[in-house]
Amino acid sequence: MTTYRTPYVDIIQSAARLQMGLPAFNIPYLPMMEPVTQAIVDQDCMALIATARLEWYKFGAQSLHAVAQEYRRWERPGFTWLHLDHVPVIDEDNLEVDYLPVIREAIDAGYQSVMVDGSRLRLEDNIAATRRVVEMAHAAGVPCEAELGAVLGHEAGPLPPYEELYASGRGFTDVEEARRFVAETGCDWLSVAIGNIHGAISGAARDQKKPEARLHLEHLERLKEATGRPLVLHGGSSVKQEYLLEAIRRGIAKVNIGTEIRQAYETAMRESDDVATAQHAVYDRTCWLLRDYFGITDTRARLLA
């Protein structure tokens, strides 16, 4: 299949070409929208504003419509766009999801890119589910992200020690499967597993610091060569900076950030019980991420050139 073209696909491709990873900031609580957007504008860069299904089921995002409405209150065209993050076919609780109507609803609500997550399915079933979403999204002029491999962390119960996971390669995206997956689905971006993990979302673990993750950079290079697509890193919070920046140089064009800013908001709310204080904490943390972690301050003009 040929690569689909929209302005958002072009921007991600430009990010890959310029070796400039674009953050996608997840919004689990609606008051986070304003400070995240303002930080992106003040740092003069581009980023995605994202929400995943679990953020309106397990946090305070309420619904995909509520997120879209709040996004439009603070929207700054040319700095951000609205992305539907993980809509799983099988969710983190191993329950089947009626995913097609959710993604259709998001497209109708104005989301500018979408993601289907069939990573808990067998390869053939993931291909079939992703292809259905790609066809629906492309018909509406919307690019589609997919996932192959297991980016662990959202499941209930403790994970094995991180170093054990990394050493075993458990869940890593298979190179030949990735080659076939992209060819047969036509997805625009592919989320891969190369040592990255999601932040925990249940129990006391959701408040704990994430393990400091490493990335298998040689495996990433093989995936990039096999797929010919911009690749996506989920679980970007807590990845060691040297690994993150090298991964961006080797093919990662989009990096999802959730835990870093969610925990900033939740900690400030617990300590102050004041939304404005929590918003300020989110603003400061987002500025730090853009300026000091990603190093993309004042890069918007280059990306849009």
CB atoms within 10 A of CB 94: 10
C-alpha 23/C-alpha 256 separation (Å) is 6
Give CB contacts under 8 A, 24+ apart, made by 54-59: 54/86, 54/91, 54/92, 54/154, 54/201, 55/26, 55/27, 55/28, 55/85, 58/201, 58/202, 59/28, 59/29, 59/201, 59/262
| CA angle 55–48–126, rounded 5-degree value | 65
Asked whether the beta carbons of 149 and 121 are under 8 A apart, the reply is no
Residue of 10, 42, 44, 85 marked catalytic: 85
- Verify whether residue 125 is a known catalytic residue: no
Strand partners, 232: 191, 254
Could you tell me whether strands 22-26 and 252-257 are parallel, antiparallel, or unpaired per DSSP bridges?
parallel
Q: Which residues are catalytic?
A: 85
